[in-house]
């Protein structure tokens, strides 16, 4: 069995836990706790260590999905989770500009640790004042279109939308590792 370890990362409220819960074929293991700081204004609970889900994509291949905490005070988990990952998806809340800046911080952090295939998943694109993909790409530091990862809109609570984002990520993995069986 080939297991691809996928990290789902992004800021608070970007949809990491929702994405994993939407697509996982097992009950998601989570470390959600009551939000006791400013995060409580956005949502009742927050991830403090990780979320874990699994999705079988072929008879001999599955994705193990690891969701990171979205708060900077738990960033030590980013290091732990990204260390053995095959790829990651950065979820960016398209209607919160401060979250887009936080997404750039995550990208910089990951790129200093490892070089992995990844995609950008734009969430909340249906909200008023949501930024379009081109503006988000520029804000994340991707001025050169040829050097940017795929950017896809994803509704973290819609299974077909999540599946399409994961298909895009698996395609990136196959381009990144062209001689592998992944």
Q: Are the C-beta atoms of residues 91 and 84 closer than 8 Å to each other?
A: no
* 3-state secondary structure at position 103: helix
Q: Are the C-beta atoms of residues 75 and 108 closer than 8 Å to each other?
A: no
Q: What is the mean pLDDT of residues 118-144?
A: 94
Query: pTM of the entire structure?
Result: 0.88
Q: Are the C-beta atoms of residues 170 and 180 closer than 8 Å to each other?
A: no
Alpha helices in the chain (DSSP H): 16-23, 76-82, 97-113, 133-139, 159-176
Confidence class for position 34, pLDDT limits 50, 70, 90? low
Q: What is the mean pLDDT of residues 148-168?
A: 97
Q: Are the C-beta atoms of residues 81 and 88 closer than 8 Å to each other?
A: no
pLDDT score, position 102: 87
pLDDT digits (tens, 9 = 90+) for 96-115: 888 888 899 899 988 898 99
Question: In angstroms, what CA-CA distances link 99 with 52, 78, 79, 84, 140?
Answer: 23, 17, 20, 26, 10
Any idea which residue has 């990844």 for tokens?
Answer: 118
Size (the chain), residues = 182
pLDDT digits (tens, 9 = 90+) for 74-94: 676 778 888 889 999 999 999
Q: What is the mean pLDDT of residues 13-22?
A: 93
Whole-angstrom Cα distance, residue 50 to residue 163?
A: 21
Average pLDDT, the chain: 87
pLDDT score, position 182: 47
Percent of the chain with pLDDT over 90: 55
């Amino acid at each position: 069995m080939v297991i691809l370890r996928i990290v789902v990362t992004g800021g608070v409220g970007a949809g990491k836990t929702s994405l994993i819960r939407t697509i996982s074929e097992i009950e998601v293991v989570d470390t959600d706790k009551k939000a006791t700081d400013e995060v409580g204004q956005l949502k009742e609970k927050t991830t403090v260590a990780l979320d874990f889900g699994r999705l079988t994509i072929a008879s001999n291949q599955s994705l193990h999905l690891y969701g990171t905490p979205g708060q900077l005070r738990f960033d030590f988990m980013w290091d732990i989770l990204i260390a053995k990952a095959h790829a990651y998806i950065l979820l960016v809340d398209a209607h919160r500009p401060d979250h887009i800046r936080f997404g750039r911080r995550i990208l910089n952090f990951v790129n200093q640790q490892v070089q992995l295939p990844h995609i950008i998943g734009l969430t909340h694109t249906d909200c008023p004042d949501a930024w379009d993909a081109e503006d988000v790409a520029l804000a994340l530091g991707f001025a050169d279109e040829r050097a940017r990862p795929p950017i896809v809109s994803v509704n973290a609570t819609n299974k077909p939308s999540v599946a399409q984002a994961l298909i895009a990520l698996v395609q990136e993995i196959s381009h990144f590792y062209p001689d592998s069986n992944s």
